[in-house]
Every structure is written in C-alpha cells, then in structure tokens.
Amino acid sequence: MRKCIRFVGFTMVAVSALLLWTLASPISAQAKKLTVVTSTTDMASLAQEVGGDKVAVESIAKGYQDPHFVEAKPSFLLKLRQADLLVVVGLQLEIGWLPPLITQSGNPRIQVGASGYLDASQFTEILEIPQGTVTRAEGDVHPLGNPHYWLDPDNGRRIAKGIAAKLGELDPADTGYFQERFQDFDKRLSTAEQKWEAEMKPFHGRKVVTYHNSFPNFAKHFGLNVIGYVEPRPGIPPTPSHTIELIGLMKRENCKVILVEPYFDLKTPNSIARETGGKVVQYLPSVGGEKDVTDYFKLFDYDIALLTQAFQATQ
Ligand SMILES: [Zn+2]
C-alpha cells in the first residue's frame, strides 16, 4: 500500500514536471522567437519587417475590416494570452473592441503600461489633434487626432524603428539583429518612396473626397488635397443633407475622385459619382485589404497605381 502511494506520488511529481515542461516549452523551445500580436495588419507587417525570423507575428483584425469596429472573437483571447508583445495603433482606434480582450486575456505581459504593450502612435506624426476638450459624445471616432497615421511612409519608418527598439528591449541578445533589420527596411523604404513620389508628382494638388477620414497622412505626404468626406463625422453614416452639401462642394471645386475604404457600402459614393461625373475608387487603407497586398510596400504600390489611374481618367 505504502509502495503504491509512493508510486502514485512519484507519478504525480512526474506528471506535474511533464506538465510544467509542456507549458514552458513553447517559450523555451522558441527562446529566440518572440510572439508578437498586433491590432492591425499594418503594424504586423512593420513588426515582421524588423523582427525577421526572431518573431512570430499575427494581427487580430484583418486588413479588409474597419479597424474601428472589429467583432471580438474567442480566438483573439488565445492569441493575446500567448503574446510577448502587443502592438496597437492607439488614439482610441481600437477602443470599441480591444481593451476588454486585453484584460480578459489575463496576460500580465501585455497589459496597458506593461513592457509588452506598445502604442505605436507615440512614434508618429499625428494630424488633426483637436483643441480643447473632446469627447466621443457626438460619435466622432477620432477624439485624439487622426489614428490612420500609418498611411504616411515616414510614419511607417518611425513605427518600424520604435518596434525594433522594443523588440531589442524584450530580447536584448538580438538587439543588433533588430537594428540591422530596421536599417535595411529604412533603405528599402527610402528607395520605394522615391519611386512613389515620382509617380504621384504629376498629380500634386489634386482634390479628392474620402468616405471616412482615413487619408490625411497619405494626402499630406503625397501632396493631395482632401476636400470632404462622405461621412458627416468620422464613424457617422452618411445623411442626405450632408451628401447634398458634399455634391455641391465637389462641383464647385471640380473634384472628381471619391476614395472608399473596402468596408463601406458603395450606394452613396456611387450616387455622388453620378451627380458629379466623378469616379469611385476603392482604395485600401491596410495591408491585406486584397489578397495580393501582403506587406507595407505592396499597400502603397497598390493604392498609388489606383490613384494615378483615377487621376489620369478624370483629367
Ligand atoms: Zn477612423
């Protein structure tokens, strides 16, 4: 009997040890691979650029989803539970869906303020920061400034630099690796920027309307002029009176291009295009908005090709 207890005891210890080993192994076996979870695909692409094969990166939102309104799924919790680093866009972009998931994940590494929580907005140039007190009371989903800042390649560079520094902090042995990856990304981005700027140059000053106010950083970088939005305020669906005003404005300003993010209904933009003789262009605000747009470079390649075609067609 005693022997039996001892045996059971031994087995329990062995089982516990095995369990511990199993639990620990995803970390120890991949000691060199940090698990990075990002709220959006653009952050994932930039993290992948600088993290290389020392990171496993996954985005929660898909590139064809509206990042303001993502439907939370239980699978998101599993991802967050395993994360060593969570990269968010911030400025309340994810406020409608991410904060409860972070809390519920029970992962102390990625809680707000912990070393594995990184708000990328701190590195970037933020446009449209409101003056005075702001609330979301009127439904405006940009109360802290425009959160679509990744659409300026210079901000992409700053985000990548910030992520590289954070990865080095979490995995000091590979700091040099992450820095080299950043330098290489920086170089490739500069080359790409020269090409993009040359392609966009003939269209400097061209006027566009966008459905949602997700384009100011892109417009600033490439010298475009956003004169209005299909939404009366960011996050508020179109109203007939606002649409009529917008049509009048576009006619007065001779604006012919209406950019629409892939997650919005085309009914109102199409009717605006009919009234103004304009053209609706479904541009992509994020990596993964289309199957072939698999990284940060391809995102600009894709959008710039679309825009230059649309501008040529509406000379
Ligand atoms: Zn927005």
Is the Cβ–Cβ distance between 122 and 91 less than 8 Å? Answer: no
Residue 84 CA to residue 76 CA, distance in Å, equals 14
| 229 CA to centre of ligand 1 in angstroms | 12
What residue type is 52 in one-letter code? G
Selected residue with higher pLDDT from 130 and 300: 300
Would you say 273 and 280 are in contact if contact means Cβ atoms under 8 Å apart? Answer: yes
CA of 48 from ligand 1 middle (Å) equals 24
The predicted pLDDT at position 136 comes to 63
H helices of the chain, in order, are 2-28, 41-51, 74-82, 98-105, 153-170, 175-200, 216-222, 240-253, 267-276, 296-313
What type of residue sits at position 204? H
pLDDT of residue 30: 47
Q: In which band, very low, low, confident or very high, does the pLDDT at 113 lie, cut at 50, 70 and 90?
A: very high
User: For residues 269 and 280, what is the distance between their CA atoms, to the nearest angstrom?
Assistant: 7
Rounded (10°) angle between helices 41-51 and 175-200: 130
Q: Which of these ranges, 23-27, 81-85, 135-139, has the smallest mean pLDDT? A: 23-27
DSSP 259-299: EE-TTS-SHHHHHHHHHHT-EEEE--SSTTSSTT--SHHHH
Confidence of residue 31 (pLDDT cuts 50, 70, 90): low
Mean pLDDT over 118-133 rounds to 93
Is the distance from CB of 87 to CB of 43 less than 8 angstroms? Answer: yes
**pLDDT beyond 50 at 86:** yes
Nearest alpha-carbon partner for 265 in 66, 41, 94:
66
Instruction: Locate 206 and state its tokens.
Output: 């061209």
Q: Give the Å distance between the CA of 104 and the centre of ligand 1.
A: 25
Query: Is the pLDDT higher at 238 or at 16?
Result: 238
Radius of gyration of the chain (CA): 23
Alpha carbon of 23 to ligand 1 centroid (Å) = 39
178 alpha carbon to ligand 1 midpoint, in Å? 30
CA of 267 to the centre of ligand 1 (A): 20
Greatest Cα pair distance, the chain, in angstroms, is 95
202-259 residue pLDDT tens: 999 999 999 999 999 999 999 999 999 999 999 999 999 999 999 999 999 999 999 9
111 burial (CB, 10 Å; 0-12 / 13-18 / 19+) is: middle
Tell me the mean pLDDT in the region 63-86.
Answer: 96
pLDDT value of position 135: 65
Q: Do the beta carbons of residue 90 and residue 121 sit within 8 Å?
A: yes
Please, which pLDDT band fits residue 13 given cuts at 50, 70 and 90? Answer: very low
pLDDT band at 28 (very low <50, low <70, confident <90, very high): very low
Q: What is the per-residue pLDDT for 32?
A: 72
pLDDT at 100: 96
Residue 274's pLDDT is what?
Answer: 98
Question: Tens digits of per-residue pLDDT, 164-197?
Answer: 999 999 999 999 999 999 999 999 999 999 999 9
Backbone angles phi, psi at 278, to 5 degrees: -95, -175
Query: Going by C-beta distance under 8 Å and a sequence separation of 6 or more, which residues neighbour residue 32?
Result: 54, 171, 173, 174
pLDDT at residue 60 greater than cutoff 70: yes
Is residue 64 within 8 Å of residue 24, measured between CB atoms? no
Q: Which of 16-30, 141-155, 279-293 has the lowest mean pLDDT?
A: 16-30
CA of 196 to the centre of ligand 1 (A): 24
For ligand 1, the distance from its centroid to the CA atom of residue 92, given in whole angstroms, is 9
- Please state the pTM of the whole predicted model: 0.89
Q: What is the percent of the chain where pLDDT is above 70? A: 88
Q: How far apart are the first and last CA of the chain?
A: 93
Q: Per this entry, what is the length of the chain?
A: 315
Spatial contact of 171 and 192, defined as CB atoms under 8 Å apart: no
Average pLDDT over residues 37-56: 98
**If you average pLDDT over every residue of the chain, what do you get?**
91
pLDDT of 25 higher than 50 = no
